[in-house]
Structure formats: structure tokens, C-alpha cells
Amino acid sequence: MYRLLLILVASLIWAAPAWAAEAGQVSVPLRGDAPQGDEARRDALQRGLETVITRLTGRDQVSDLPGVAEALAQPQRWLLRYSYEDGEPPRLRAVFDERSLTRYLADQGTPVWGGERPPVLVWLVTEGTGRGDLVTAGDPLAERLRAAAGRRGVSLVLPEWDQRDRDVVAVADVRGRFDGPVLQASRRYDTDWVATGVLYGGASTTLNWRLLDGGDQVAGQRASAADTDAALDAFVGALADQIAERYSLGGERGDNPESGAVPGASDGGVTPPPVFTGDAPTGDVLIRDDRVVTVRGVRTLKQWQDLYRALADSGPLRGVALRVASDDRVQFELDFSGGRAQLERLMAGVAGLAACGDAAAPPLTYCLR
């Protein structure tokens, strides 16, 4: 285990972060008589940064959130690179540092999504011939749906609608809200979040939708809109609101123990203990600390690397330090400006982990699935 630990530490030094790479990428139309001038570029960067903040927070209206006005006033602070694209109108493609921006917003008290965004499987029926048509990847409507999801930072999955799906569920099941066949067909897509909807045309567009989490309905609405694009935007926005409410972190500042900074994380106070590389203690508890997470079932170098990257790439975390390795368990100290409850919410977004310890006592303990 000691040799594995040394190899792991050396390899992680060179590990490149990959958290939500697309969240910081935008393409914005340029405006004005001089589209490549300073004023047009500054305007496009501000609009692009506002889009990124919308994705990171899951909120549609972000201007009044703490720290957002200051961030938008200096878009260059978060800019990694940009380029121009030809077209009518020409566009500016920009890449912003979403990790630094996420941490800044969390420090300011703005709720941000932490960890991996859970995908939503969407069974959407349109009024076609007969009982309607299911929207699948490659349909023109699917591209419009994905565009709406991209603006809000929601990860959508559309069914394959191949014979395997058709053997289990029918369009009539989606329209009739028969959850049994829909949930059975959804299992192959490995997502807890499942949305169903029926899109009606006519004098006004209506979208009747529901959102299921683990098979239970958590939201639903029959909403009218001016046109199809507006209906899809409203639908995706409602999904984003539900997911952000469940997975967002932050929203508070100050000395509240549930939201305050980790003691000693940046004020020169408590110094975190070094990584233990000797004969590690045995038993279920290695170190008891609210800033520490224990993970069981780590047996290979790849598992170490994947786990470390998943934690290090979680936007709200400022840093991840490996503290102890023992048998098949490891412990990480997390530099996180939040309390235990918020840390639990962040860990719920890390793929491949399931809580398996005493929920009432530190440290938080998880097992690899």
C-alpha cells in the first residue's frame, strides 16, 4: 500500500482537471458596427460570462446573486482564451475558468452546483400522427431541446427508441403517465432523474410535463408558451430549478457553522496533518474530522486516480489533500467553505460513491460502487 501511495501522489501531481469542461465554453453573437472592436468584444464577453454563471448556478436570473455584478464587471479576470468566428452575425467563442469562477461565487454566498450534474432522461412526445411521436436524438426538435439545456447547464439524455425500448414502453405509456413501463425502460440509461412530457401545438403551445426522481414525482406542470422554443426553454428551466435546489451548494456567508470557511483553510490557523505513510491505524475510523471524507473499496491505482480527480474537479472545493491510506480505505481532507450538510450534498454529486457510514458522526464515509 505504501508503494501504491507514492505512485499515486506522483501521478496526481500531473493530473489535469476536467470538471465540467463545457460549462465554461460559450459562443456569443457580436453586436455593433465594429464587431471585432473593443466595445463589441467587451459586451460579448459579459454576455458570455453571464451564460456561464447561469450554468454554474442553475438559475435563470443571476444578476442579483451575490458577487455576480462584480464578476460581470471584469470578464477578463475569468477569461482563458477567445477567438472570432465568421458568419452572419459573426460570433465570439470564449472559454472561461469555470472552476475559479465557481469557487469565487461560492465564497460570495451564491448557490452553485457542486460535483457532477446528474443527467435527466427525457421521454418527450409530440403531437404527430396517431398517438404522437417520441423525440429521439437526431430529431430537429431534439437539437432545439439540447440548445435550451446548454443555456442552463442541464445534462439531458434522450432515449434510443430502438427495439429494446419498444419492447418495454409505448408512446401511449408516456402520454398516459403509466410510470411502470417508463421506469422499466429507463433503467438501461442509468439515471435517477426521468422526465416525461407531451407537447401540444395549435393556437398556443402547451407542454404537459412531469419530473421523477427515483420513481417519485417531484415536480410537474401544464404550461402554455408563445411557441415551441419558449415551451422547451420553460421546461428545461424548470428541470434546472429542481436539480439546482437539490444539488446546489452555498447561499450563505459569515460565521454560520453550516456555511463558514473551513477553520485554518486560509487564515494561517490550523495546519492540516500530513499524509500518513507509515503503519496506518486499523478499524473503521482513521481520523475523525468534519473536513475529512473516508472512502472504502479503493484497491487499484486507477480507482485512486478516478476518485481524486472526481473530488479535485468539484468546482466548490478549493483543494483536496490525501491524508491517510490504509488497507482498501483512503481519507481526503477537503478545503471547502461550507459545513457538513453542504459537504454531504457535494459528495452526493460525485459519481461512483454511495454513503455507507454513520450519518450522524464524522468522518463522512462512502464506498465505491
d(CA 76, CA 158): 36
What's the pLDDT score for residue 61?
83
The pLDDT confidence band at residue 254, using thresholds 50, 70 and 90, is very low
281 — pLDDT class (breaks 50, 70, 90): very low
287-308 burial, b for 16+ CB within 10 Å, e for fewer?
A: bebbbbbbbbbbeeeebbeebb
Residue 32: the pLDDT is: 83
What is the predicted pLDDT for the residue at 220? 92
Tell me the whole-structure pTM to 2 decimals: 0.59
The answer to whether the bond into 118 is cis (omega within 30° of 0) is no
C-alpha cell belonging to residue 191: 439515471
Q: Tell me, what's the pLDDT at 211?
A: 95
**What does DSSP say about strands 91-96 and 193-200: parallel, antiparallel, or unpaired?**
unpaired
**Mean pLDDT lowest among 19-33, 69-83, 201-215:** 19-33
Q: What is the pLDDT of residues 37-82, one digit of tens each?
A: 899 999 999 999 999 998 888 787 888 889 999 999 999 999 999 9
Sheet holding 329-335, edge to edge: 319-326, 329-335, 292-296, 364-368, 353-355
How many alpha carbons lie under 13 Å from residue 163 in its C-beta half-sphere? 0
Is the per-residue pLDDT at 315 higher than 80?
A: no
Per the CB < 8 A criterion, the answer to whether 145 and 122 are in contact is yes
Query: Which residue in this structure is represented by grid cell 418527450?
Result: 124
Report the pLDDT averaged over residues 273-301.
57
Cα→Cα distances 117→5, 108, 155, Å: 30, 21, 7
Residue located via cell numbers 421506469: 183
Tell me what the mean pLDDT of segment 134-142 comes to: 89
Q: Tell me the pLDDT band of 108, cut-offs 50, 70 and 90.
A: confident
Report pLDDT for 19: 26
- The rounded distance, in Å, linking the Cα atoms of 8 and 3 is 9
The string of DSSP letters for 96-140 reads E-HHHHHHHHHHHT--EE-SSPPPEEEEEEE--STT-EE--TTSH
Three-class DSSP category at 28: strand
Better-predicted residue by pLDDT, 174 or 320 = 174
Residue 86 to residues 22, 43, 143, 181, 318, Cα–Cα distance (Å): 21, 18, 22, 47, 38
Does residue 11 register a pLDDT over 70? no
Please state, as a whole number, how many other Cβ atoms lie within 10 Å of the Cβ of residue 55. Answer: 26
CA 218 – CA 208 distance, rounded (Å): 14
Return the pLDDT at 128: 59
Contact 200, 226 (CB under 8 A): no
For residue 158, pLDDT over 50 is answered with yes
pLDDT > 90: percent of the chain: 33
